[in-house]
Amino acid sequence: MEAKQADDNQRSVPRRHLIYYLRVFDTATGALMGNLVDISTRGIMLVADQPIESGKAFHLKMVLPDTVEGSKEVEFVAESRWCQNDTNKDFYDAGFELIDPQPEFMDAVDRLVEDCLFKE
């Protein structure tokens, strides 16, 4: 937990908290990884039913609320950096760092910030 607190203090990119959850899937298995709860241009945080292994790169797909660039989903690669129990002990919070995000993903982030998120 100390590593997460230190990471929060060093955060240089503002996070945006979602008004509602978006589902994120592992493209390799098709399994639901969790629900997106915040996002920045450098990373995401999910709430998941199961713990997520830290230090592992995942190919992920996020289902979007609206079509962005002709698609209702966007794929990206992210490395899991930490995982801990949520305030609700039945769930887990997991932080991911984006790996070389593509322009399609960045467009989706911009659209989400404009349309779906609380302004901070």
Give tens-digit pLDDT for 103-118. Answer: 888 887 787 767 665 4
Domain-embedded: residue 48: yes
Query: What's the CA gap between 21 and 100, in Å, rounded?
Result: 24
Instruction: Specify the pTM.
Output: 0.77
The mean pLDDT of the chain is 80
Domain-embedded: residue 120: no
Number of domains in the chain: 1
Output the domain CATH number for residue 10: 2.40.10.220
Classify residue 109 as exposed, middle or buried by CB count within 10 Å of its CB (0-12, 13-18, 19+).
buried
Give tens-digit pLDDT for 31-60. Answer: 999 999 888 888 999 999 999 999 999 999
Instruction: Taking residues 70-85, report their average pLDDT.
Output: 91
Domain-embedded: residue 104: yes
Domain residues for 28? 2-115
- 69 pLDDT higher than 70: no
Domain-embedded: residue 80: yes
